[in-house]
């Protein structure tokens, strides 16, 4: 879950930077920080899902993680996740069919949703996926498209 190294954009001095995601309370946040001896330091951050190219770099480096419900109570956990990912009802129904897998994405995103599900009073755990996602993991990962993530920015 360490940061992704980036080169300083728009400078020729070899400045370095990094990108990462964090969970603050029950919020998902991301940051980009650059520093260059000549240009100084630059910080950018945001809440919710990060720019897609940076998110893809995290997935490439750290792999996919999943959030798995650790209790038989399907509705509490799925309702909590639907509350923040704003899934339409049909998507929530699909998610119900893939229970106990609640989410597939970056490790930080899975930890964020664990905090959300914790707050709702349901137990869950974050588990690393194998390099090749299985059918259920792929189906859950595809529930949220790039376009859906962008609407949550
Ligand atoms: Zn520079």
Bridge partner residues of 30 (DSSP): 21, 46
Which two three-digit tokens encode residue 88? 């339409």
| Alpha carbon of 42 to ligand 1 centroid (Å) | 10
63: CB partners within 8 A, 6+ apart: 128, 129, 131
| Alpha carbon of 18 to ligand 1 centroid (Å) | 15
pLDDT per residue, tens digit, the chain (153 aa), is: 468 998 877 788 888 999 999 999 889 999 999 999 898 998 999 999 999 999 999 999 999 999 999 988 899 999 999 999 999 999 999 999 999 999 999 999 999 999 999 999 999 999 999 999 999 999 999 999 888 888 886
| Whether pTM exceeds 0.85 | yes
| Alpha carbon of 34 to ligand 1 centroid (Å) | 9
| Alpha carbon of 66 to ligand 1 centroid (Å) | 38
| Alpha carbon of 40 to ligand 1 centroid (Å) | 7
């Amino acid at each position: 879950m360490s940061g992704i190294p980036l080169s300083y954009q728009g400078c020729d001095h070899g400045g370095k930077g990094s990108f990462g995601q964090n969970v603050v309370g029950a919020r998902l946040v991301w940051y980009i920080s650059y520093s260059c001896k000549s240009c100084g330091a630059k910080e950018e951050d945001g809440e919710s899902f990060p720019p897609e190219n940076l998110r893809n770099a995290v997935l490439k480096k750290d792999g996919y993680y999943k959030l798995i419900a650790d209790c038989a109570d399907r509705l509490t956990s799925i309702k909590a996740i639907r509350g923040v990912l704003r899934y339409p009802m049909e998507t929530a129904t699909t998610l119900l069919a893939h229970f106990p897998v609640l989410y597939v994405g970056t490790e930080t995103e899975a930890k964020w949703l664990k905090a959300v599900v914790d707050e709702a009073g349901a137990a869950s755990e974050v588990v690393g996926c194998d390099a090749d996602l299985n059918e259920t993991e792929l189906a859950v990962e595809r529930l949220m498209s790039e376009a859906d993530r962008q609407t949550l920015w």
